Amino acid sequence: MSHSKSNIVLIGMPASGKSTVGVQLAKWLSMGFIDTDLLVQARAEESMQAFQDANGMDTYQTLECETVRSLVCANCVIATGGSAVYCDGAMQHLKAIAKIIFLDVPVEEIKQRIGDTSERGVVIKAGMTLDDLHAERRPLYLEYADAVIDCSGKPQDELLAEIRELA
User: pLDDT tens across 67-105, in order?
Assistant: 999 999 999 999 999 899 999 999 999 999 999 999 999
How far from 161 is each of 4, 11, 145, CA to CA, in Å?
Answer: 23, 17, 18
pLDDT at 119: 67
Strand arrangement, sheet containing 98-104: 32-35, 76-79, 7-11, 98-104, 147-150
Q: What is the pLDDT of residue 4?
A: 46
According to the CATH classification, is domain 3-166 in 3.20.20.105? Answer: no
* Beta-bridge mates of residue 76: 32
The answer to whether residues 69 and 93 touch, using CB atoms and an 8 Å cutoff, is yes
CB burial of residue 66 (10 Å; 0-12, 13-18, 19+):
middle
For 142-167, b/e burial (b = at least 16 CB within 10 A) is eebbeebbebeeeeeeebbebbeeeb
Asked if residue 94 lies in contact with residue 100, where contact means CB atoms within 8 angstroms, the answer is yes
Distances, alpha carbon 158 to alpha carbons 25, 132, 144, in Å: 11, 29, 23
> What's the pLDDT score for residue 5?
63
What does R_g of the chain's alpha carbons equal in angstroms?
A: 15
* More confident call, 134 vs 49: 134
Total count of residues recorded for the chain: 167
Mean pLDDT calculated for residue range 117-139: 86
Burial 109-123 (b: 16+ CB within 10 A, else e): bbeeebeebeebbbb
Which residues does residue 45 pair with via DSSP β-bridges, in sequence order? none
For range 107-117, the mean pLDDT: 85
pTM of the predicted structure, to 2 decimals: 0.92
